[in-house]
Amino acid sequence: MNSPILLTKLNIPQIRRNLIDRSRLINQIERCMDVPLTLISAPAGFGKTTLINQWLNNDHHGHGGNFQVGWLSLDDEDDDPNRFWEYFLAAMERNLDEKSCFETAHSLLQGLLEPPIQNLLVQVINTITSRPVHFTLIIDDFQLIHHSSILDGITYLVEHMPENLHLVLLTRADPPLPFGRWRIQGKLNEIRTTDLRFTIDEASKYLQEVQTLNLDSAEIQALEERTEGWIAGLQMAGLSLRDLSPIQADKFISEFSGQNHLILDYLTDEVLIRLSDDLQAFLLKTSILSQFCPSLCAFVCSSESDQTVASGKYSQLLEELDHSNLFVIPLDNQRVWYRYHHLFAELLRVRLNEKYPEWIPLLHRKAAHWYEENGFPFEAMHHAISAQDINLATDVIERTVRKPATWSTGNIARMLEIVNTLPKEVIANRPWLRIYLSGILYVGGQPCLADEMLEDVEKSLVDVNFPSSSVMDELFLYTSTFRGFYAATLGYSVKAVHLAKKVLALLHEDDKRVYGHALATLGQAEFSTGDVTAAARYYSKAVENQKRNNAHFTAVTWTGNLADVLITQGRLHAAVEICNPIIRSTDKDGNPESAVGYLQTFHAAILYEWDQLDEAEEMIFSGLRKMQNFGISPNFGRSHAMLAMVQQAQGKVVDANNSMEIAVQIAQRSGSVRYIDRIAAYQARLWLLQGEVTKAIHWAEGWMELRQELSSSNQLPEYLVENEQISAAWILFAGNRLSDALMIIEPIIASATQYGRLSSLVEGMAVKALILAEQKGNEIAAQQSMLQAVQLSRPEGYIRTYLNLGRSCFDLLKSLTVKDNKIKIYRDLILDHFQSHHKVKPTLYESHQHGDYEKLSSREIEVLNLMASGMTNEQIAQKLYLTNNTIRAHSTHIFDKLGVHNRTEAVTKARALGILR
C-alpha cells in the first residue's frame, strides 16, 4: 500500500469552492454521531460526496479535538474480503495516533481464503471503545461491494458498534443489508435521493451565486423542473449558460426544456461545443484514465515531438479545469493526481467511442507505457488489457517480474492474480516469464506448484525445438537451479544436491546469474539433513555472492535462512548480529522491506527464547506487515506459528489460537508434507501448553505410527524432523509415557551432539532429565542431565525452552546442586523468570500428571480469568461476544472440573493450582 495512487483511496476528496448552504441536510447528517450507521443513497450526480465533505468542513461537531474521521473510496477491485478489510483497517488507522493499534487484526488477514472477520472486528471494536474519541468512518462507492462475507462483517459491526464509532456509507444503490431491522431499532440515519435533490431555492442560489448567472425566476424554475433537482444536470446547464447573452440564454433554456433527450447527453454536447478544440480533444482522450497527473496527460495526449514541454502546460490545464468546475476532482493536497467525476467520465467516453473509436486502443497503449515507465505495473497491465493487447500485457508482466525492484517493493501476490487472468496459451510460449512466476509461487508459499511450473517449462523446451541452443542452455540452467532450490526446501535433499552440483560445475565463481542460488541450495540441503556446520558455510558463501552481485532480495532472505541455521547451532548472539544491521537498515541501503520482514521472524525466535515476549511479538508483527505489502506473508506459516507461541507465553490464549489456525491453513495450502508436519508439531506444542493433553498425545501417537510405517516400507523422508521428534518426546512425557519418550529423545541427543545442533541438544537434555526424574532410581542421572543442559545453554542465555517445560522443570532446576557460581547465577535467573510472570501460568499438563482435576479448555480459562477480575456473567458475555447462556454453561463446566460450587471457590482454587495469577 505504499503506492501513491493507492493512498489516494484513503484521502478525503478535496472540496470545491463556492458551495451553497445545505444546512437542512448537514443537520440530518450530524445525526450520524448518534447512530451506528448513516446511509447516503442516491444515483451519481446528486452531490453525495460534496455533501459529506461540507459536513466535515463544518466546525460545529461539538466533540472538540476528539472528532476523528477515516475515509475509504472503493474501487472495482475492492470487492474482495482480504483487500476490503485491509483498506478498512488502513482507513481506521490513518487518523488514530498509533500506527500499530490494529496489528493483531492485521495478522488475521494474511491472505487467507476465509479470514476470521468477526475476530478482527472485535479487535477494532475493543480498540475504539478504549479511546476517548468519536470516530467516523466514511466509505464511498459502497455499491461496488457484493461479497457476502464483507456484507456480513458490516452487519456484525453495525450490530456491535460501540457508541463512539460511526459508519457512513455513500452508495449509488442500497446494499443488501438488514436496513428494515435497523430502521425499527433506530440504528439507521438515512439520506436519500429525494432529500438530496436541489429544492427550487437551492437551485436558484446555486445558479445565481455559485455559477454567477443572471436568470429570472421563470428560467430557474424551468431548469429545476427539467433536471428535477439533479445537481449534475444543473451544473451542466450552468456551464452551458456561461457567457451567453440574455437572449441566447432564454433560447437555450426554452430549447432545453422542450428536449426529450437524455439530459446529460444534451448538456454535455452543449458544454463541449463551447470549449476549444484542443480542450475538447484533451477531455476525450483523458476520459480513458481512471486518474491522471500532468505527466500522464502529457504522455497520453501529446504527439511525441512536444512531450518535453507539455507537462507544465497540463499541470496548468488541470488546475483550470478544477477552477472552472469541469468535473475534475483533485485526489491529493498537492494537486498532482485528479480524476473525473464518474458520470462525466462516462459521458466523455461515449463521445470518444462515437467520434474517434480508432484512438481508443492507442490511448490505452500509451497509458500502459507511461504507467510501466513510472513503476505502476498493475495500472500498466490494466490499460494493456483494455487496449486488447494481450502481448503487451504479457510483455509488461515479463519485464516487471524480471526487474529487481519488483522483488523489493512490488506486490507480487497481486501480480500472480493478474497473470492467472491471462490466456494459458500466451503464458505457455514465455519460458522466462514462467521461470520467474515459479519464483513468485515459491515465495508465495506454493513450492509444489512452483516446481510443477518449471517441470512444464522443461517439457516444453524439449518438445518445441528452440532455435538457438545457447538460449536453450540458459533456460535449462535456470530451471535446474530453481528446481534444485525448491527440492531443498521441500526436503528432497538428494535431488537438490545433484542439481546444485550440476549447476556449479557449469559456472565460474564470478557468475552473476545463479551461482549463488546453487550455493544456497546446497546450504538448504545440508540444513535439511542436519549438517548445520556445512549449511552455515554454504549459506554464508551464498549471501556473500549475492551481496557482491547487488542481489539484495536474495542476500537478505538467505541471511534469514543463515540465521535459522545459526539458531539451530545454538549461536543465538551470532544470529542476532547478522540480523540486526539489516533490520536497522534504511531504504537507501537497498534492503527490500519484504525480505527484511521475512528475516525478522528468525530474530523474533531468539527474542522469544530470551523471554522478551513483547519485543518478540512486535518484531513478528512488523515483519508480517512488511511481507504483506509485498503480498507474500501468506507463505510464511512459521511466522504465525512463532507468533502463536509468543502470544501463548503472554497469556493471550485466544490470539494464540487464531495465529496457529492461520499457520495451519497456510501450511495446508502449500501442499508440502514437510511444511504441514512442521506446523502440526508447533500446534501440538501449543495444545500441550494450553493443557489440551489428549489432543497433543493424539498427534504424537499418530506421528509415531506414521514414522513406523514409513520406516518399515523404507520411505522415511530424506530430511531431519528433529523439532517434531522433540515435540513428540515432550508430549509423551507429559502423558506419562516415559519409556516411549526416552526412546525418542536418546537418538536425538546423540545426533545433535555429533553435528553440533545445540538448540536441539539443550531441549533434548532437559526433556531427558525430566523423564529420568520421574523414574525411580534415576534421580542422580536426571540432575546430571539437567545440569549439562544448563551448562551448555548458559553462554547463549536460553530461558524459554525451560519455561515451556513447566512446573516439573522448575522443581528439578531448583533442586540442582550447582557449584560453579556463573552457572548458579544463570540457573537462578531462569527460576526468577519462572516465578515472575510464569508462575502465573505454569503449563497445565503437569496438573494432569498430578491428576486431581480435569483440564480446563482455553475458553474456560479465559472465562475464569474474567471472573477473577470481578466481571458479572453478563459483562463476560459482552466482552467475549457470547450469550449469557453460554457463559453459564462454561461456568458450570469450570465448577465441575475444579470440584467447586461457586465463583469465589473457583477463582481461589484456580489460583492455588496456578491456573490463574
Partner 1 sequence: MNDRAKYEIVVMGTLGDRWADWFPGMMIDHEEQGGNYVTRITGIVQDQSNLIGILQTLINLGLPLLLVKKQD
Nearest to 797 by CA among 561, 562, 574: 574
Cell numbers placing 740: 516411549
**Minimum CB separation from partner 1 for residue 249, in Å?**
23
> Is 43 among the residues that bind partner 1 (CB under 8 A)?
yes
Helices (H), 356-468: 359-373, 377-386, 390-402, 404-409, 412-419, 424-428, 431-443, 447-463
Q: How far is CA 441 from CA 410, 450, 451, in A?
A: 14, 5, 9
Out of 59, 97, 354, 358, the only residue in the binding site for partner 1 (CB under 8 A) is: 354
- Could you tell me which stretch among 125-133, 256-264, 319-327, 790-798 binds partner 1 (CB under 8 A)? 256-264
> Is 353 among the residues that bind partner 1 (CB under 8 A)?
yes
Residue placing its CB nearer to partner 1 in the complex, 268 or 394 = 268
- Could you tell me which stretch among 245-253, 260-268, 572-580, 820-828 binds partner 1 (CB under 8 A)? 260-268
In this structure, the number of other CB atoms found within 10 A of the CB of residue 625 comes to 18
**Minimum CB separation from partner 1 for residue 137, in Å?**
25
Q: How far is CA 672 from CA 633, 637, 679, 730, in A?
A: 17, 12, 11, 25
Residue placing its CB nearer to partner 1 in the complex, 143 or 374 = 143
Residue placing its CB nearer to partner 1 in the complex, 79 or 159 = 79
Which residues inside 222-241 make contact with partner 1, applying CB under 8 A?
Answer: 230, 232-233
Task: Please say whether the beta carbons of 565 and 539 come within 8 A.
Answer: yes
Residue placing its CB nearer to partner 1 in the complex, 360 or 731 = 360
> Is 351 among the residues that bind partner 1 (CB under 8 A)?
yes
> Is 263 among the residues that bind partner 1 (CB under 8 A)?
yes
> Is 172 among the residues that bind partner 1 (CB under 8 A)?
yes
Terminus-to-terminus CA distance in the chain, angstroms?
A: 42
> Is 265 among the residues that bind partner 1 (CB under 8 A)?
yes
> Is 350 among the residues that bind partner 1 (CB under 8 A)?
yes
**Minimum CB separation from partner 1 for residue 327, in Å?**
14
- Dihedral sign (CA 802, 806, 811, 814): positive
Integer Cα distance of 96 and 123 in angstroms: 14
Residue placing its CB nearer to partner 1 in the complex, 263 or 535 = 263
Cell numbers placing 539: 549459506
Cell numbers placing 647: 502470544
Task: Please say whether the beta carbons of 42 and 174 come within 8 A.
Answer: no
- Could you tell me which stretch among 213-221, 350-358, 637-645, 906-914 binds partner 1 (CB under 8 A)? 350-358
Nearest to 431 by CA among 460, 467, 392: 460
**Minimum CB separation from partner 1 for residue 597, in Å?**
38
Q: How far is CA 468 from CA 19, 465, 475, 755, in A?
A: 68, 9, 11, 47
**Backbone φ, ψ for residue 317 (5° rounding):** -60, -45
Residue placing its CB nearer to partner 1 in the complex, 353 or 668 = 353
Nearest to 485 by CA among 421, 537, 441: 441
Residue placing its CB nearer to partner 1 in the complex, 344 or 478 = 344
- Could you tell me which stretch among 317-325, 340-348, 550-558, 798-806 binds partner 1 (CB under 8 A)? 340-348
For residue 583, what is the enclosing H or E element? Answer: helix 572-584
> Is 346 among the residues that bind partner 1 (CB under 8 A)?
yes
Task: Please say whether the beta carbons of 72 and 52 come within 8 A.
Answer: no
Helices (H), 63-210: 81-93, 103-107, 117-129, 148-159, 179-184, 193-196, 200-205
Out of 74, 264, 761, 844, the only residue in the binding site for partner 1 (CB under 8 A) is: 264
**Minimum CB separation from partner 1 for residue 68, in Å?**
32
**Minimum CB separation from partner 1 for residue 41, in Å?**
11
**Backbone φ, ψ for residue 459 (5° rounding):** -60, -45
> Is 343 among the residues that bind partner 1 (CB under 8 A)?
yes
> Is 173 among the residues that bind partner 1 (CB under 8 A)?
yes
> Is 260 among the residues that bind partner 1 (CB under 8 A)?
yes
Residue placing its CB nearer to partner 1 in the complex, 6 or 44 = 44
Helices (H), 160-230: 179-184, 193-196, 200-205, 217-227
Q: How far is CA 545 from CA 366, 475, 511, 523, in A?
A: 39, 21, 9, 13
Q: How far is CA 255 from CA 96, 211, 765, in A?
A: 54, 20, 95
**Backbone φ, ψ for residue 140 (5° rounding):** -100, 150
> Is 262 among the residues that bind partner 1 (CB under 8 A)?
yes
**Minimum CB separation from partner 1 for residue 349, in Å?**
9
- Could you tell me which stretch among 38-46, 482-490, 631-639, 802-810 binds partner 1 (CB under 8 A)? 38-46
**Minimum CB separation from partner 1 for residue 703, in Å?**
48
Out of 12, 26, 44, 880, the only residue in the binding site for partner 1 (CB under 8 A) is: 44
- Could you tell me which stretch among 27-35, 348-356, 693-701, 886-894 binds partner 1 (CB under 8 A)? 348-356
Which residues inside 411-450 make contact with partner 1, applying CB under 8 A?
Answer: none
**Minimum CB separation from partner 1 for residue 141, in Å?**
12
Lay out the site mask for partner 1 across 134-153 (x = CB under 8 A, - = otherwise): ---------x----------
Residue count at the site for partner 1 (CB under 8 A)?
A: 22
> Is 341 among the residues that bind partner 1 (CB under 8 A)?
no
**Minimum CB separation from partner 1 for residue 353, in Å?**
6
Integer Cα distance of 10 and 2 in angstroms: 12
**Minimum CB separation from partner 1 for residue 14, in Å?**
23
In this structure, the number of other CB atoms found within 10 A of the CB of residue 260 comes to 6
**Minimum CB separation from partner 1 for residue 537, in Å?**
59
Which residues have CB under 8 Å from 592's CB, separation 6+?
407, 408, 409, 552, 553, 556, 630
> Is 261 among the residues that bind partner 1 (CB under 8 A)?
yes
- Could you tell me which stretch among 41-49, 121-129, 194-202, 494-502 binds partner 1 (CB under 8 A)? 41-49
**Minimum CB separation from partner 1 for residue 354, in Å?**
5
Contacting positions for partner 1 (CB under 8 A): 43-45, 143, 172-173, 230, 232-233, 260-265, 342-343, 346, 350-351, 353-354
